[in-house]
Amino acid sequence: MVLALTFAQPVNTPSTASHGPSTAHHTAPEEVRRGWPGGRRLTGLAVPYDRISTRTQYEDGEVFRYGAFAVDCEQFAAGELSIPLVVDHNDEDRIGWITEMHETPEGLEVEAWVGDPNELLTIRRNLSISFRDGAVRQGPEGVREVLAAHLSHVSLVRDSAYVDARIYDPPLAPAPELVPA
């Protein structure tokens, strides 16, 4: 079941903001959260920082650095960016929206609201991201370091490129009652 919501679509314009670390906690606009009556909330680590994955297209591995999504977090907080939650990186299989995102030293943490949770969440406990490069460099031993990136979506997957990219336990929490504005 896919629910249609009306709110800002992702802004794809380059930003001149600093790519430095962001420590602010960002929440989606209230109208997004009100659009999921009876939905469920899941939280997890979308991508860890400072952990090398060799399960990517890069032979020597890839690592995301703290602050890689600082610009996206700022745009998200300003209501200029929306991030869908999809299944198996299929943009046609959208099951929810990211409603909160923030960077921690561990990585990019997200909260998503799912309109119709089902058995997908019992077999897909891992998270993965689709992103566009912002700033990358070649690190020690050839590891590709992502210093800045732009998030396209977060996906529920069976296997993630990063072992730590997963839904936290418990996997689903009931949506809190939201008071209409």
Spatial distance between the Cα atoms of 57 and 12, rounded to a whole number of angstroms: 24
Eight-state DSSP code of residue 142: G
* Burial (CB count <10 Å: 0-12, 13-18, 19+), residue 4: exposed
135 pLDDT above the threshold of 60: yes
133 pLDDT above the threshold of 90: yes
For residue 31, the model assigns a pLDDT of 47
The total of other beta-carbon atoms located within 10 Å of residue 128's CB is: 22
Considering only CA atoms, which of 30, 38, 62, 32 is closest in space to residue 49? 62
pLDDT band at 118 (very low <50, low <70, confident <90, very high): low
pLDDT band at 113 (very low <50, low <70, confident <90, very high): confident
Spatial distance between the Cα atoms of 99 and 174, rounded to a whole number of angstroms: 14
The total of other beta-carbon atoms located within 10 Å of residue 16's CB is: 6
Spatial distance between the Cα atoms of 147 and 164, rounded to a whole number of angstroms: 19
5 pLDDT above the threshold of 50: no
Output the pTM of the full model. 0.75
